[in-house]
Structure 1
């Protein structure tokens, strides 16, 4: 039996539509590679198809369903904050791409926090030395260690604290206290002109929330213990720092280094041959393309090397750029430091983290899932 099968055979065996097959590939459930005989066609690993075919035939146990839901699976909790539907991102029913045309991050924060016309007071605190990422962790960790827990706080007090935490994070990014719109504060700190500030504003709005991703889930678990808002944001910041989440821009830059050294086409094909994805392309939740990347990339001209990588990667893989590629390209276009994409991501997503923390507080429930034990079976006294 061949190790690889065609798309038609895979769809027939699994009774899938083309877009569903693509989603399986994007989620890493079916490995795909380019056909050596016909580069325009993809082949799919037969073992992956057989595994899914078997699972469909035998049905799925409750424990298996619950475990699969954690990784790009079915929704695991209710939320009215954001959703992904019809290939678009929606904040409380409003299209994020449309909001990105004119809204500021503060406007989106009010929308996500459901706090109407709440003001954003500035409370300047000490800012430690270090680079942007070091300052962010230091400032939020200090607040997490000292801020009061949530029990007994009024909604007005919570919103005031939310604005204060966000303001502290922005001050840490900027390196000094400031006033005015968030995008202008960080743009000024980074030496950007009005055009750069506008692009940063768009990126902040597009990244404000993304449903129940890894960092947001960490925030909700922390919030379910009634920890302070700063502690919740620290949990999100920690999860965001990982290379598979907010640290993806480092992988995009590493791939660009490979492309410079080996040529773009060789770099792309080398990744595919090892079964690794091309960093910055494709997204499991957006089979037709990441709308956040589409919106941001339409607002500025890509640097030449990014444009070449985009064209070659799309031609070979059929996958479109995602927000990690767009954010890394934006930082390059504005001649900003390598850690700026992470800082933009953190400042923006802080608004979503706080929204989810506030929503979780309202449920009054502790998030405490069970593990499916796979270790050595316990033995009672006297058992052989």
Structure 2
């Protein structure tokens, strides 16, 4: 059965023969191994071109910003999975990554798509950026209450990671249309939702990465890549200082049963 489009049987990523391995037009052994860092290689694999200085700087900054954030749900899932199946490190990593959705970790992708749509509207309409921000928030609020990239349960003055990334983008002169739109959206929040919200890290990350030329379609991959590193760190600790069953036990203690009681026979 033919499913989907099947008329372009090509890939531009990698090929090999008996003597060489070619990646994106470069010889893996002769031009890449020992001659490039992994972040540059990641950018090259995704885009097909080597990153410039600013692209490499912000790719590194963003990967560091997201790699670790404590015992978040993805980490808890991974550590409990490893406790139950210590022979399957890959299964525990996968368990952590499978929970990276629109609420946790994948929210940068959601924000990026929203900002990109807003910027496209701004460019096509020629309207004032503040008017564009207002109407796009209004449109989004018809289907959801959350405006991606804003609000934080702990950092009322803004996520410190977000604040630093924005400062760095301004200092290095890479803040472009997407960062400008993110700021316009934040400024429009009091008028549209009735209150100010601080920026969280999922605002600047997609805005800056889009402004420096990273593909929209690959935004979620940034979080998946760096969180994999964080998960491996947690799982290495889990092997040496296990807390997976403690986490499981605390969950059982913390949740009370409120279902029906069995009827007498």
Q: TM-score, normalised by structure 2?
A: 0.67
Give the unaligned 5+ runs of structure 2. 1-9, 14-22, 123-130
Distance 1:364 1:323, change over 3 A: closer
Q: Which residue of 1 aligns with 2:90?
A: 230
Q: Which residue of 1 aligns with 2:186?
A: 313
Superposition pairs of residues 245-324 of structure 1, within 5 angstroms = 245-256=104-115, 257=117, 260=121, 263-269=132-138, 276-300=145-169, 301-314=174-187, 316=190, 317-324=195-202
Superposition pairs of residues 346-357 of structure 1, within 5 angstroms = 346-357=224-235
Partner Cα separation in structure 2 for residue 323 and residue 340 of structure 1: 17
Distance 1:274 1:194, change over 3 A: closer
RMSD after superposition: 3.2
Q: TM-score, normalised by structure 1?
A: 0.48
Q: Quick check: 1:187–1:193 contact (8 Å CA) kept in 2? A: no
Superposition pairs of residues 48-197 of structure 1, within 5 angstroms = 179=33, 180-189=36-45, 190=47, 191=49, 192-197=51-56
Distance 1:130 1:338, change over 3 A: farther
Q: Which residue of 1 aligns with 2:260?
A: 376
Q: Which residue of 2 aligns with 1:220?
A: 79
Deviations 1:217-265 (A, max 9, x none): 111111221433222111111111x111222133214433267388211
Q: Which residue of 2 aligns with 1:43?
A: none
Give the unaligned 5+ runs of structure 1. 1-128, 133-170
| Structure showing greater relative contact order (alpha-carbon pairs closer than 8 Å, 6 or more residues apart) | 2
**How many residues are matched?**
210
The partner residue of 2:206 within 301, 317, 328 is 328
Shift of 1:360: 2.5
